[in-house]
Amino acid sequence: MLYRMINPPEISWIAILPVLLLSATAMLTMVADLWTDGPDREGLGWIGLVGLMATAIAAVALWNTKLTSFAGAVVVDRYGLFFTLLFCVAAGLTLLMSMSYLEQTDIRTGDYYSLILFSTVGMVVMATAADLIVVFLGLEVMSIAAYALAGIWRSQVRSNEAALKYFLLGAFATGFLLFGIALLYGVAGTTTLTGIAQTASGATAEQRTLLIAGMALMIVGFGFKVAAVPFHAWAPDVYEGAPTSVTALMAVGVKSAAFAAFARIFMHTLAVMSPDWSAVLWVLAVLTMTVGNVTALLQRNIKRMLAYSSIAHAGYLLVGMVAGGELGGSAILFYLLAYTLMTLGAFSVVIALGRRGQPNENLEDYAGAGFRSPFLGMAMSIFMLSLAGIPPFGGFVGKFYIFSAAVKSGYIGLTVIGVMNSLISVYYYVGVLVRMYMTDGGVEITQPSSRPYLFATLVVAVAGTIALGLFPSTLFEVARQSFLALG
């Protein structure tokens, strides 16, 4: 009569509605794949898009609530919902661009769509987790799907290499995270975030030592997932080798999800320990920005360049974490939104310039592209300028918020290092525009207007990047409320 002894926790199904909808969609695509004839799998993408739309609607409907489920292991607050919506946007745009990209690369497998969706499920779980075990669960769901996705282009050696590298290093890093969780559990006697927060606020010297050790290990684990230096070495190879649409999802989705959990745990649960961790993150932020930007200068392959750029952006986000407080937290959320749109946009342009059997991923291939396809040129200019932090685009406002938070918390030195890094980044971002507009080349371009899915992705990303730059205040307010919902 064992089951009588276990007291099943109360489960609020409404609270996990977004996750349920998303998981159901993922499974549906798996099943629907069996009934799809022919090589074309676009229909699955549409199922995914509808599912993501439903998830987003559910998240919006839950906006004014704060529910917990599974005995407090999952908390659906605005913070989690903000990220849920962010992941819906990221995954939706990824699906849209994939529908064009898979045809171009002959990756004709239905699993692709379900893996993207499962990975998104993992992200949502991470963002709404209120228990370290659930964080770990979400991380694994997300990562395992991402490992598989990195290697899904089976005919390509570099895709296989990416998957293997990502998997081995990822598993190793997850080990660190798990060890950190174990240490925190050892101190607090619980894995719930509320329990750990209580322990941390009244920690004895002995407990503090263990907490610090646990935090250090967790920083390694999260640092790997967000690709912070010195845990970034995997990123360029994986980003270059993985199919471009998967790279896009890794650069925005995986990174945002890791930041969602990272910020929730460190900026909220362990906020009292911030004097201990902020110094470490200060160093990590400086290293990440500098190494990311300086190395990006040397890249010849646009995917590698964007990989290093995404490392650098993790650095700016770490500045937000170091700055802390309401402003730092809201700035991170806003920045991730802007970063998602401009990075997905940039990867869409990379896809748009590729052709069947001819990926055109070297910077030389971009020569003269701006005039041969004015729309692509304009879109890429907007993404590059936004990534470089030049107004009036979303990336600039994001940086403005992050650096304002840092100044407000008194981190002037860090801010100056940050803007000087922005300056370095201008060189390579603008370098892409130099190729596109100021040199001549002859790589043929399929006009994006003949590829409706890709075209739609680009239009959304361009519109979003501009709108975030011109009218940031509404979304910043949403970001602020979301961060404040942490309590």
Could you list the residues that contact another protein (CB under 8 A)?
371, 374, 385, 390-392, 396-397, 400, 403-404, 407-408, 412, 415-416, 419-420, 422-423, 426-427, 430-431, 433-434, 437-439, 472-473, 476-477, 480
Q: How far is the CB of 100 from another protein (least distance, A)?
A: 25
Nearest CB to another protein, comparing residues 257 and 327 = 327
Nearest CB to another protein, comparing residues 132 and 331 = 331
Q: How far is the CB of 392 from another protein (least distance, A)?
A: 5
The secondary structure of 288-340 as a DSSP string is HHHHHHHHHTT--BHHHHHHHHHHHHHHHHHHHHHH-HHHHHHHHHHHHHHHH
Q: How far is the CB of 44 from another protein (least distance, A)?
A: 37
Nearest CB to another protein, comparing residues 43 and 391 = 391
> Which residues have C-beta within 8 Å of that of residue 92, sequence separation ≥ 6?
49, 52, 53
Nearest CB to another protein, comparing residues 59 and 397 = 397
Nearest CB to another protein, comparing residues 172 and 427 = 427
Q: How far is the CB of 323 from another protein (least distance, A)?
A: 11
Please list the alpha-helical segments (H only) found in 354-438: 369-372, 374-387, 394-408, 412-438
Q: Rounded to whole angstroms, what are the CA distances from 2 to 6, 7, 10? A: 7, 10, 19
DSSP 77: -
Nearest CB to another protein, comparing residues 269 and 373 = 373
Q: How far is the CB of 282 from another protein (least distance, A)?
A: 17
- Determine the residue type at 347: F
Determine the Cα–Cα distance for residues 402 and 414; give it in Å rounded to an integer: 11
Is the bond into 392 cis (omega within 30 degrees of 0)?
yes
Q: Token pair of 431, please?
A: 């370098």
Q: Rounded to whole angstroms, what are the CA distances from 120 to 32, 143, 180? A: 19, 10, 24
Determine the Cα–Cα distance for residues 24 and 48; give it in Å rounded to an integer: 10
Q: From 374, 341, 371, 354, select the one nearest 301 (Cα to Cα).
A: 354
Nearest CB to another protein, comparing residues 10 and 477 = 477
Q: How far is the CB of 482 from another protein (least distance, A)?
A: 14
Q: How far is the CB of 398 from another protein (least distance, A)?
A: 12
| Exposure letters 457-467 (e unless 16+ CB within 10 A, then b) | bbebbbebbbe
Nearest CB to another protein, comparing residues 91 and 337 = 337
Q: How far is the CB of 417 from another protein (least distance, A)?
A: 10
